[in-house]
Amino acid sequence: MELITTVLLKYQKDNTKYILDPEQFQQMIESNEPKLERFFNEMINALIPKKRLEKNKEKAKKQVVGYCYLLVGIRNKFANNFKLNLGLYLQSLGMTNSGINILSNAGLSVHTKTIQRYKKDIAKAHSIKLNEYFNLIDDLRVTWIK
């Protein structure tokens, strides 16, 4: 678990999007850490029965990718982007704060306080970016007028 934690933390720092496609996820972890070459296949073999229909296996492989992110989040509290995005998604669907906090206590999501803090940070950053943009426009106007 230490190896995949390291790989996913590094990927999280360098990228804003998750890899949810099982083949791309497997390729990403294996290319970043050759010791993880059989890890994803072993997870699939351990969690998905061989008797399952092929279309159901494909859906289950996507769930295994999600489990990997959750396991890394349990191992390292700083790897919580997946849980934060899940919490944001659940809140946008109208899930109650107590429901999200129950999932947080189970290690599946972040606490609603974290979600609120993140939303405040986005709103604050947005107004700063708008001010920077309008200051740039004003500077350009002054330059053009001269």
Residue range 106-122, pLDDT digits in tens: 888 899 999 999 999 98
The domain ranges of the chain are 1-79, 82-146
pLDDT tier for residue 136 given thresholds of 50, 70 and 90: confident
Beta strands in 10-138 (DSSP E): none
pLDDT tier for residue 23 given thresholds of 50, 70 and 90: very high
pLDDT tier for residue 99 given thresholds of 50, 70 and 90: very high
DSSP 36: G
Average pLDDT, the chain: 87
**pLDDT given for residue 142 in this prediction:** 66
**pLDDT given for residue 2 in this prediction:** 86
CA distance 61 to 133: 43
DSSP 49: -
Residue 80 has pLDDT above 70, yes or no: no
| Selection from 117, 112, 81 nearest residue 99 by Cα | 112
Q: Which long-range contacts (CB under 8 A, 24 or more apart) does 85-94 make?
A: 85/18, 86/110, 87/111, 87/112, 87/114, 87/115, 88/115, 88/118, 91/115
CA distance 43 to 37: 12
